[in-house]
Each structure stands twice: as C-alpha cells, then as structure tokens.
Structure 1
Amino acid sequence: MGVGNELKSDDGVGPFIIRKLIDEGIENDKILLINAETVPENFTGKIRKENPSHVIIVDACLMNCEPGEIRIVDKNDFANIGISTHSMSLSYFVKYLEKDTDFKVIFVGIEPETMDWGEKLTPKVETAAYEFIKLIKGIVL
C-alpha cells in the first residue's frame, strides 16, 4: 500500500512506488497493490476481505535521516516521527488493521528531502523508490 500526497513532491513516494509496480505487472492473485494516496482508511474493508499474510505500507516519513533513507518503522515509534499528509493517523490505521486479524503490518518509511508543492520526487528519493521497487520485485517474483 502506497500512502502520500502526489502533489507534494517526496510525500508522493508511496503512490509512486505502487504505480511503478503496477506498470511492471507484478500484481497477481497473490499480490494486491493499493495506491491509497492520502486516505488509507478507505481500503480497510478491501484489506480485511483479502485477509493477506502481510500488509506493507510505504510512506514518506520524517525520521531525521538523510533524504532517501529507507527504514522499517516500529508502530510504537509513530509518535516520534513525522508521517506524511493523510486524514487518519497511521498509528490508528495500523491498530485498526491488526484488530481481530492475523496478518502482519510492516511500515516502511522513506525520508523525504522536501514535501513542498510539486509533482516530482527529488532525485535522492526517486533513487530510493527504485531501490525499494527492486527489493519488492526480488521478494515476490
């Protein structure tokens, strides 16, 4: 699941990754790709219906790292980091997804360089996005 605002530069890294994975045709009956943009809560029903083994959420995340750095973020650390622009707190979203389910939620943060208005990722974040895409493809293909 890619989360973020594609009109705010690096904040759109999650949706960018999902679009590229869809374009490369890796979605199949075992892999569901969701471009949640700024409303991941709109997809809770779909996720619960699919009952996946894992949900990977990727989003721009202020972690005091170098731009483009990728980290798995512990859900207990959500209060200590800045997560991109969406309507529902991701900590509540993750708690809701995990309630009464057996799947594991993994949150992947990518440090943005800027989240100013703009429709393109900065070069460092775009490079990180392609690295993450390569990693995902290596796992699922």
Structure 2
Amino acid sequence: MIVLGVGNDLKCDDGVGPFIIKRLKEEDIEDENLIFINAETVPENFTGKLRKENPTHIIIVDACLMNGNPGDMQIVDKDDFSNIGISTHSMSLSYFVKYLEKDNDFKIIFVGIEPESLDYGENLTEDVEKTAFDFINILKGIIL
C-alpha cells in the first residue's frame, strides 16, 4: 500500500497531505509493504515509482473544497472530482488517477479534507490539523 500526500505546504490547509506524510514517516512504521510519498504539488512526478511498486492500494490524501465544514474528511469518488475544488496542482487529479488506473489493478482511494484557509502560511488551521491526526490514527489502526 502506498499513501500519497498531495498539496502545497506553504498554503496553510492545502498542506494537509504533506503534513500527514511527514508525521507518518516520523512514526517509523516498519512494513515493507507500506510506502509514504510526499508528492507535494506534483503527484505526476511519482507515476513511475507508483507503477514500479505495483501496490494493492494507493491512498491519496489532499485538501479539497467539498462545501463542507473545515476539517471534514471524506472518501471522494473519482467520478466526483469535477464537483470538488482542487487548484494547486500542476496536473488534474482526475487525469492523474485515470493514468494510474490504465493497465494497473491497484485500488485507488482518494481522501479529501475540507480546508479552512488556503492563504499563504506554513501551519494548518486547528480543525484541519485535528483531522490530519485523526486520519493518521485511523490509518495506523488499520495497518498496525
């Protein structure tokens, strides 16, 4: 399984994906079947690695505008990408996911977290940071 954090950590809550990956790496979880990738704003740069590793699952974590409350977290269906707002990435995540699915059998799960602020700043807002730690604990409960 690969967990891929996407976002710009210089734009407050848009950095929730990289924040989660950094914290997971600090946990020093030892599992040869688990890889954490901080893709920042260029997840397409990791398509080669993702295909080479050929994981059973890829979990993509990113801030996205879903018309919810700050910190709301939900699994977003790939068919709903056009209904959510993700604007800090150089490649559309819907194209990214379609490309990854081509000729591959892995399951892709997209977890969106509603941001409060996308202004310039290096810290997450309180609600988004709480959700980030909730996600980390949920993931650890599943994999450990």
TM-score per shorter chain, which class? over 0.9
Identity of aligned residues (%): 72
Matches within 5 A, 1:1-141: 1-141=4-144
Q: Shift of the alpha carbon at 1:99? A: 0.3
TM-score using structure 1 length: 0.98
Number of aligned residue pairs: 141
State whether residues 61 and 82 of structure 1, in contact with CA within 8 Å, keep that contact through their aligned partners in structure 2.
yes
Deviations 1:18-53 (A, max 9, x none): 000000012531101000000000000001000000
Q: SS of the residue aligned with 1:34?
A: strand
Over 6 Å off, 4+ runs: none
CA RMSD after TM alignment: 0.7
CA separation of 1:80/1:126 partners in 2, compared to 1, >3 Å: closer, same or farther?
A: same
Aligned-partner Cα distance in 2 for 1:40–1:82: 17
5+ residue gaps, structure 2: none
Aligned-partner Cα distance in 1 for 2:43–2:88: 11
5+ residue gaps, structure 1: none
TM-score using structure 2 length: 0.96
Aligned-partner Cα distance in 1 for 2:95–2:30: 27
1:47 maps to amino acid:
L
